[in-house]
Structures are given as structure tokens and as C-alpha cells.
Structure 1
Amino acid sequence: MGKVYESWIHSAFACDVCGRFYAHAVSLGLHKKVHEGLTTCALCGKVLNKVADLRAHLRQVHRLSKDDVKKIVPHQGERCRYQCDLCGHVYRRRDSLTDHRLHHLGRTACHVCGAVYSTVRSLRRHLRDVHRLPADEVRRNTELDAPAGPAPL
């Protein structure tokens, strides 16, 4: 090994999980989030290198709004007190967890085209803007006390 490489290894920060080396403590901290599952996409399972990459992935690949991304991947320092018992997602607000649970119940899937949304609000916007459904039909198909799936004809 050359002196420069040996010198870098001794001054580098090593991951205690996988042994990868990083030149900066901040880089190691970002990397450790991979092992904590904080960079795994809940929608498709893809593991990204950084939380910022996960946010970009959710926006670009899954076409989520910034608000929906914030609900799934909160920023550092934002407390996450409410956790989904089905998938482990954590949320800062109880109502965000409640919205999320509707996803598991199939309440955020479009009955026309099958597209799945992260919130009922996003589904309603989709039904209105994409399928041009009238407001009363959108409400009827997304009411929380209505059975999941398309409304009877």
C-alpha cells in the first residue's frame, strides 16, 4: 500500500456495520442512515445512498408532492412520534399516520385506473383533474365510511 492510501485509511471514518471508509464524519453519518432503513423507498423497496436521494427519488420516480415526501421522509430534527405498525413508517403528526393507514386499506387507489396515492386528498385531486369526475362522485368514491373500491353503478 502507498503512504497516501495508508495515511487516508488511518484518518478515515469507518462504518461499524459494513466497514466502508469515509473521509468525513458527516459522510459516515449520512451513510449510516442506509443501515437504519432511512433511505429505503417504502413504495418500491429501492435503497438509496442518502436521505436526500430518497426524497428526490420519491419526487421524480413516484411523482409525489413535496408535502407528501415530507410526510414520508421528515427532515433531520423533526420529531417522528407516530409509527405505522404495518410498515414502520414514522410521522410527526397523528393525522399523517391516519392518512397513511388509509393507503394500507386500499382507500387511496383510483377505482378508474388503479393508480395508488399516498393520501385520500391526492386521490381526490387525481379523480377531479385526470378523470374529470364531478365533485359529488369524487366524494362518494372517497368517503371513509364507504366500502373500498368503486361505487356501485
Structure 2
Amino acid sequence: MVLSTVLNPSRSAPTSSGAFKCDVCGHTYKHSRSLRKHERFECGKEPQFVCVYCPYKAKLRGNLRKHIMVKHREEWTSGAAKIYVQKTKKKAPGEIPSRFRCDTCGKSYKLKSSIREHKKYECMKEPQFGCPACPYRAKLKGNLKKHMLSKHCLGIDKYFS
């Protein structure tokens, strides 16, 4: 038995062939770090990264980048759009494992700093950043930037200095 398995029984020991096998889905990996990455980001998770050119979805940002470079090289190299990773649906407040809940609107956060930022800039505030290309408005400048990149393939720097 491998020492790391003795010290941490939740870690999988290599199989007889030397591969590391996921206890949940059975995928095997050559290195234990690959198995740990799989367990943390892939196994049992929904794809959260969406291709802007087709319906492809990926569980890892790097896999989406590879997909775009292979399947959409012409669109990407023409400069028509930048690679932008868009997360799929946000979780409902009750689904987020959190310790900090806003007493005004009920949104939940994992970090105390996040709830402070929410109360200062977002909660019960009107959106103050307007998209120059459509009616979209955002409460945070960063959210407007994400919107402009994903919907209009434009950088915010062009409009705001």
C-alpha cells in the first residue's frame, strides 16, 4: 500500500498497472495529481464553460481553449472575436455552500469580504454602468466588461479609460 494512502485513506492508491483510478466514475490517470484535478473539477460536475461559436461546453477552461483553437481556428485567428469563457447558469442562493447571507436580499457568499462588497456596491442599488451597444446595465464595472466581451466581442477599455 502506498504511504500517501495510509496517511490519507480518501486518496486512491495506484492500481496494479500503476494507474490512479477514480472511485466515483472509474476514470484512470497516470499521475495522482491528474486524478486530484479530475476529482476537484470534473467528476460529477456540470460543464461550466461555453463556446461562443457553437454549443460545445467544457468542464475546464483549458479544454474550451483547445476546442476553440482546433474547431474554430479560422474565426479566432481572423480577430473577429477573442476567446472568452462564459460560465453557464449561476447557482441559486440556497445551492451555494456559504456562511454569509445578506439580511436584506438573501444572497449568500462564502467570504466575508464578498458580502461586504455586495452590501456596498450591489444590494438595493440601481445599475450605474450602461452598455454602449445595447440596453444592458450593470451594478459593477467588471460585470459590464464581461457582458461586452461575451455579447459584443468588445473590450471595455475602448469606451472607458
TM-score for the superposition, normalised by structure 1: 0.37
- Between structures 1 and 2, the one with greater helix share: 1
TM-score for the superposition, normalised by structure 2: 0.36
